[in-house]
């Protein structure tokens, strides 16, 4: 029972962080526009990453697709962390590193979810027609 509750808390933390950033991406908030302009991916990158994060959030919440959503979130957060480290720096527009920290937390949550569902990974590689 404890493990079940822990996993749901981890899922909710990841999903809340992923979903709360969607508002800023989809409305063209100054910070989001700055980030994606800096990496040369404004508009399509911003909206595209928002769509991917929305899909990952939905998949994480559905027990049958949690592994897929967590993998998608893990890849997305890897890109975000790399972008911070290579192009943006840890602090973006005087945010005190908040976006970087949220990306780390989401990355860790998705890693825990993948680890928890590691036995299902071989099934992802099997294609049923």
Mean pLDDT in the chain?
94
Cα–Cα distances in angstroms (integers) from residue 65 to residues 13, 35, 96, 101, 105, in the given order: 17, 30, 34, 26, 21
Q: What is the mean pLDDT of residues 86-93?
A: 93
Question: In the chain, pLDDT over 70 holds for what percent of residues?
Answer: 97
The CA distance from 56 to 16, in Å, is 12
What local confidence, expressed as pLDDT, does residue 35 receive? 93
Residue 129: pLDDT above 90? Answer: no
- What pLDDT band is residue 124 in, cutting at 50, 70 and 90? confident
Looking at residue 126, its pLDDT comes to: 78
pLDDT of 73 higher than 80: yes
Residue 77: pLDDT band with limits 50, 70, 90: very high
- Average pLDDT estimate for 69-73: 97
User: In the prediction, which pLDDT does 103 show?
Assistant: 97
Backbone phi, psi, residue 91, to 5°: -100, 130
**Contact indicator for 93, 31 with CB cutoff of 8 Å:** yes
Per-residue confidence (pLDDT) for residue 123, from 0 to 100? 86
Q: What is the pLDDT of residues 1-37, one digit of tens each?
A: 678 999 999 999 999 999 999 999 999 999 999 999 9
């Amino acid at each position: 029972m404890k493990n079940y509750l822990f996993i749901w808390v981890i899922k909710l933390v990841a999903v809340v962080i992923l979903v709360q950033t969607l508002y800023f991406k989809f409305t063209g908030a100054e910070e989001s526009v700055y980030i994606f302009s800096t990496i040369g991916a404004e508009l399509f990158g911003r909206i595209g990453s928002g769509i991917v994060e929305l899909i990952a959030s939905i998949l994480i919440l559905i027990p049958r697709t949690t592994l897929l959503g967590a993998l998608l979130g893990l890849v997305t957060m890897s890109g975000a962390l790399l972008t911070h480290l290579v192009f943006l720096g840890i602090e973006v527009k005087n945010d005190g590193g908040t976006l970087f920290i949220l990306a780390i937390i989401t990355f860790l949550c998705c890693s825990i979810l993948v680890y928890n569902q590691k036995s299902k990974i071989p099934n992802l590689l099997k294609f049923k027609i």
